[in-house]
Chain A
């Protein structure tokens, strides 16, 4: 089932096309990475999904229905720029945000307590936000967005302000939610977290889609994979490969640029005839590399047009 279906959506601010004919969809139970450089249009897309404003063209469906004021209650949204009332007690804010999402005061109170304990924040109920450290406030903020236990959540840079221990805690909560069949959009610049958590990704640059699909597939098909092969033998198989492709060569070890998995299989076949293979590994390019490549390629194109 499609939890979210974004269909050819465009949003224009004045003369500026913030989002240009963007389409993607998210299956239930997936963690979906929404990527892009700063100012690419990520926040605009999220704001349209959360119905903060409406698209100029195209349609967005949540749980198969057009966005309406009710769909706000089905989403949990942690914005990148976030904040809490500094002079209000933790429990009072959580109750407020929970009630705004349709919980009763009682439910909100119970769930607030449950989640505070879960993130290791029990005993903070009666503290004011201004008494908390940044990391502590971030935990409260996180709780405020998932309090109503929505089936669809959007986290924009959820890890900022967290130390590695708390980041790990957050990752575990996200994975637990995923295992419960909940759907998550994760928007972050931390590619390491994306590689670790996301099933599918969507990348936007200058308002336009540049990548969309399964993360593994994208990496596999990106065409910039490296083959690392270690062997014992004459190494004759390397002679049939163009010198440009061989990035690194030493005795018993070679690093070869390949464009497809078939090519790697061919190299393996050639090598195995008179070599003992001790290591054969196709190294996918880090997402980080893909990200930078795409953004730079785009910039070049843009400047040529100019």
Chain B
């Protein structure tokens, strides 16, 4: 029998027995239910309240083209204002105003309209504004250009609405904040997955050692095959779980969005579901811009590399001890580099292009968490990404090599808990 088949046997056993276990099924189902509750309930509540209470939105129309149509469309919400921008900002902070709309003179040329909001408050009305102004501007533009009405219906070009959040510190772009939070989230998820599945690998190794199963398996397959089979099998379980969650999340947000929009009675859902606006998920208490596919690639890549790196080390620790309690001390050098990036995360997200962020994201043990977060939050130069990929892959190989040496000695050793000195001796002695 070929060796690859043995690894495959181990991988499939580890994968199948774990996927079939109650723990996996429960955690896979419970986590999204929790998440759904977190996402959909505020969304629904927001959409319900949208219909009941109308907002007060002031409109400063420097172009004088749009405001009349807006008021015609929804007189309850929009009213014309001649106050200054600063005055209206004050009113927002006082709570007298829900938002105000600044339509510049050159709206037809630049197609930019600004909404000032106190932050939050639902996106229902922003979409409404988007829709109405898009229609007006598009029509005007095309008519000015002397285009046929037929062509106008074909062209789907909309306008950009910049959502500016008014805070006491000043104004900032909403999406930057979103991407920062999103980067933080991805980084934290990688941290969580690496830690959780690394610990599962370690427990699996300890279980086989404590129950003396390892002696039996060891007489059938090589230690390297046993260790890597376990890591791959459990990694597969992790990947499957993440995949199930992502699919569930996609289904739920799309379905949740449709449900929410049904309550809002959006007049032209179909036109929104085409074009760039399609990636905006409706029914949420915040809007989600399109997430570049590269971010997802980075997420999956760094999750896998990080998982393999840390789980190999976790396997080595597991092989060295006789029971889980003894693993605490030996785990320290593994858990520290896992936790450090999380501690630095707020500083890094505050300035994802700063020196601290760049340096930390290039350190291989930190890269999976920090580089993923940075890639999501900012546009990381290619050389930095390439460097971290090369460094993490190299470190991964080194970790697997060292871990396999500790592992093959460790699984046969019982009795005294080994010190770091002894682990180093094992590495040197193993041929």
> Which A residues lie at the B interface, using CB under 8 A?
47, 50-54, 69-70, 72-73, 75, 77, 79, 81-88, 92, 96-97, 99-102, 141, 144-145
CB proximity of A79 to chain B, nearest CB, Å: 4
Interchain CB contact under 8 A, A69 and B219? no
Chain A to chain B contacts (Cβ below 8 Å), 5 pairs: A54-B431, A72-B219, A85-B213, A96-B9, A100-B6
Chain A positions within 8 Å of B274 at CB level: none
Chain A positions within 8 Å of B216 at CB level: 77, 79, 82-83, 97, 141, 144-145
CB proximity of B185 to chain A, nearest CB, Å: 34
Q: Is B215 an interface residue (CB 8 A)?
A: yes
Instruction: Give per-residue flags for B3-36: 1 if the beta carbon is below 8 A from chain A beta carbons, else 0.
Output: 1011001100100010001000000000000000
CB proximity of A290 to chain B, nearest CB, Å: 30
Interchain CB contact under 8 A, A100 and B212? no
Q: From A87, A88, A100, give the contact of B220 (CB < 8 A).
A: A100
> Which B residues lie at the A interface, using CB under 8 A?
1, 3, 5-6, 9-10, 13, 17, 21, 207, 210-213, 215-222, 412, 431
Interchain CB contact under 8 A, B9 and A99? yes
Interchain CB contact under 8 A, A69 and B222? yes
Interchain CB contact under 8 A, A86 and B211? yes
Q: How far is the CA of A72 from the CA of B5 in the complex (A)?
A: 14
Interchain CB contact under 8 A, B218 and A85? no
Chain A positions within 8 Å of B212 at CB level: 79, 81-83
Q: How far is the CA of A23 from the CA of B3 in the complex (A)?
A: 30
Which one of B10, B216, B219, B431 has the greatest number of beta carbons of chain A within 10 Å? Answer: B219
CB proximity of A68 to chain B, nearest CB, Å: 11
Interchain CB contact under 8 A, B1 and A73? yes
Q: Which residue of A lies closest to B215 (CB)?
A: A79
Q: How far is the CA of A54 from the CA of B218 in the complex (A)?
A: 13
Q: From B3, B207, B211, B220, give the contact of A97 (CB < 8 A).
A: B220
Q: How far is the CA of A238 from the CA of B221 in the complex (A)?
A: 64
Q: How far is the CA of A144 from the CA of B213 in the complex (A)?
A: 11
Chain B positions within 8 Å of A82 at CB level: 212-213, 215-216
Q: Which residue of B lies closest to A78 (CB)?
A: B216
Interchain CB contact under 8 A, B211 and A52? no
Q: From A51, A54, A73, A83, give the contact of B211 (CB < 8 A).
A: A83
CB proximity of A244 to chain B, nearest CB, Å: 48
Q: How far is the CA of A51 from the CA of B220 in the complex (A)?
A: 9
Chain A positions within 8 Å of B17 at CB level: 85, 88, 92
Chain A positions within 8 Å of B412 at CB level: 47, 52-53
Q: Which residue of B lies closest to A103 (CB)?
A: B1
Q: Which residue of A lies closest to B9 (CB)?
A: A99
Q: Which residue of A lies closest to B16 (CB)?
A: A92
Q: How far is the CA of A76 from the CA of B213 in the complex (A)?
A: 14
Interchain CB contact under 8 A, B215 and A102? no
Contact count A vs B, C-beta below 8 Å:
65
Q: How far is the CA of A69 from the CA of B21 in the complex (A)?
A: 32
Q: Which residue of B lies closest to A100 (CB)?
A: B220
CB proximity of B36 to chain A, nearest CB, Å: 30
Interchain CB contact under 8 A, A87 and B21? yes
Q: From A79, A83, A85, A99, give the contact of B219 (CB < 8 A).
A: A79
Q: How far is the CA of A54 from the CA of B219 in the complex (A)?
A: 12
Chain A positions within 8 Å of B21 at CB level: 87
**Apart from A77-B216, A145-B216, 9 more pairs, CB < 8 Å:** A50-B219, A51-B219, A84-B211, A85-B17, A88-B17, A92-B17, A96-B13, A100-B217, A101-B220
Q: Which residue of B lies closest to A129 (CB)?
A: B211
Q: How far is the CA of A47 from the CA of B1 in the complex (A)?
A: 21
Interchain CB contact under 8 A, B219 and A75? yes
Chain B positions within 8 Å of A84 at CB level: 211, 213
CB proximity of A58 to chain B, nearest CB, Å: 16
With contact pairs A72-B220, A73-B1, A87-B21 given, residues A100 and B215 touching in the complex (Cβ less than 8 Å): no
CB proximity of B214 to chain A, nearest CB, Å: 9
CB proximity of B427 to chain A, nearest CB, Å: 14
Chain A positions within 8 Å of B10 at CB level: 100
Q: How far is the CA of A99 from the CA of B16 in the complex (A)?
A: 14
Q: How far is the CA of A297 from the CA of B306 in the complex (A)?
A: 58
Interchain CB contact under 8 A, A69 and B213? no
Q: How far is the CA of A77 from the CA of B213 in the complex (A)?
A: 12
Chain B positions within 8 Å of A102 at CB level: 1, 5
9 closest cross-chain pairs (CB), A and B = A83-B211, A102-B1, A100-B220, A83-B212, A79-B215, A50-B219, A77-B219, A81-B212, A99-B9
Q: How far is the CA of A222 from the CA of B165 in the complex (A)?
A: 98
Chain A positions within 8 Å of B213 at CB level: 82-85
Chain B positions within 8 Å of A51 at CB level: 219
Q: How far is the CA of A83 from the CA of B9 in the complex (A)?
A: 19
Q: How far is the CA of A82 from the CA of B17 in the complex (A)?
A: 20
CB proximity of B230 to chain A, nearest CB, Å: 13
Chain B positions within 8 Å of A85 at CB level: 17, 207, 211, 213
CB proximity of A19 to chain B, nearest CB, Å: 15
CB proximity of A7 to chain B, nearest CB, Å: 20
CB proximity of A143 to chain B, nearest CB, Å: 12
Q: Which residue of A lies closest to B409 (CB)?
A: A53
CB proximity of B263 to chain A, nearest CB, Å: 46
CB proximity of A75 to chain B, nearest CB, Å: 7
Interchain CB contact under 8 A, A69 and B211? no
Interchain CB contact under 8 A, A69 and B3? yes
Chain B positions within 8 Å of A52 at CB level: 215, 218-219, 412
Chain A positions within 8 Å of B6 at CB level: 100
Q: How far is the CA of A97 from the CA of B214 in the complex (A)?
A: 11
Q: How far is the CA of A88 from the CA of B14 in the complex (A)?
A: 11
Chain B positions within 8 Å of A81 at CB level: 212, 215
Q: How far is the CA of A75 from the CA of B219 in the complex (A)?
A: 8
Q: Which residue of B lies closest to A75 (CB)?
A: B219
Q: Which residue of A lies closest to B3 (CB)?
A: A69
CB proximity of A259 to chain B, nearest CB, Å: 44
Which one of B21, B207, B212 has the greatest number of beta carbons of chain A within 10 Å? Answer: B212
Q: How far is the CA of A54 from the CA of B6 in the complex (A)?
A: 20
Interchain CB contact under 8 A, A100 and B218? no
CB proximity of A157 to chain B, nearest CB, Å: 12
Chain B positions within 8 Å of A50 at CB level: 218-219
CB proximity of B41 to chain A, nearest CB, Å: 36
CB proximity of B108 to chain A, nearest CB, Å: 69
Q: How far is the CA of A97 from the CA of B13 in the complex (A)?
A: 10
CB proximity of B316 to chain A, nearest CB, Å: 18
Interchain CB contact under 8 A, A72 and B215? no
